[in-house]
Amino acid sequence: MARKERDESGMAVPSKRLGRLARFTGLGTSIAGNVLVEGAKTLARGEALDGEKLLFTPRNAEKVTEQLAQLRGAAMKVGQLMSMGGDDMLPPELAEILARLREQAVHMPPPQLRRVLNEAWGNGWMSKFAKFDPRPIAAASIGQVHRGNTKDGRELAIKVQYPGVRDSIDSDVDNVLTLIKLSGQMPKGVDYKPVFAEAKSQLHEEADYLREGAMMQRFHEILTDDDRFVVPEWHEDLTTTDVLAMSFERGAPIDELEKADQEMRNTVITRLFELVIRELFEFHLIQTDPNFANYRFRQDTGQVVLLDFGATREITEETSQGYRRLVEADLTGDWKQIEAASRALGIISGDLQPQHEEPLKGMFLAAIEPMRFEGDYDFKASNITSRMQAFGIQLREAKFDHTPRADLMFLHRKIGGTYLLAQRLGAKVNVRSLLAQHGF
């Protein structure tokens, strides 16, 4: 089936563990076959074999990306988790494969969609709707979103979970880890088990749409009097573990801010930075997924529409205070104070080797640059994310083997994702002033 035809008609999600395992097994076999073929060609040319180049051929990269995108669920989500803000610690070829998953998702075909909704709502569910569009308006790693109008006058966005996702989370995460190990590119000495255990925990939470609805409602109530933000209203009567109903909120994709004037870009991104600060130090509740698709904006008002609360995590008072001490140390610019606060929080541990300390220090000082800058910090002109990535590559090449607290990695994804968005949109933000407004 041609890709265009496949995308228009959808592709069924393998819903049974055996079927999903077969996909992973077939993927590994196919990659191995391609390696043998390419290896034979390399030897025939009289060239030396390079295992990494053989594993990461364009053909293999395309196959890995397509298969993980079709499996969706945890397989796709782990790729997104590892690539978002973590490319610097992965081989470039593997990072490219995982990064592609942020852009790829194939929706369920209509018959499979009907089966899922029949199981969630009962066979007569259409009697509640004046209109239900079977074509999704969005498709992601765990579910796809549809628009519907109920007969009692509600305009809804309805997220439908792919079948089998919840039951396959643990095995899918383990299989993705196996694929990465198969590549031979897992950084030596780094213990990724806590990271993958945390990923499993988060994915189980994200797959519970009743939990997500409750988190959405908490944010809705927290921000109800803040007209800078719009949070959908949860419709509990039509929500199950597999189907999430919420008010449909209009807004343009955040990427379209690139076409807006400088003032609008600055306004929207400033609001997102302040939201992160309030989440950490005021709400003690943070939505940790910085995927750009989770934000929309309204051109006429500059309001930011917040979507997708599956990755929402509660922040303990201890962690919040630890970050407060870290920010206070960051504002001094003194590496010794920053290192001490980072160790107390669990970001750094153990003795640093000389070859590790300088790039680690460089990465930290680059990351805090917007916090210490007096005035509007120009994210596009600073190349801050590129510099952080360069230091990250140095750490990987120097065999840096420390893994920070797994739960903190997800918080850092949110902060790093906000930096990436600010740079992409060319925003100028007075981060120092925002921190001062919140007691720093």
> pLDDT-based confidence at 99, cuts 50/70/90?
low
Distance CA 238, CA 218 (A): 18
Higher-confidence residue: 330 or 138? Answer: 330
Span 309-332, pLDDT tens digits: 999 999 999 999 999 999 999 999
Distance CA 324, CA 2 (A): 53
**Is the model's pTM score more than 0.85?**
no
Q: Which pLDDT belongs to residue 185? A: 53
Span 241-269, pLDDT tens digits: 999 999 999 999 998 999 999 999 999 99
Q: Which pLDDT belongs to residue 203? A: 85
Q: Is the pLDDT confidence value at 5 over 50?
A: no
Known catalytic residue: 289? yes
Catalytic residue among 87, 289, 308, 407: 289
State the average pLDDT for the chain: 80
Q: Which pLDDT belongs to residue 307? A: 94
Report domain extents, the chain: 1-249, 250-440
Q: What is the largest CA-CA distance in the chain?
A: 73
CA distances from 439 to 43, 223, 325, 341, 364 (A): 64, 20, 12, 18, 22
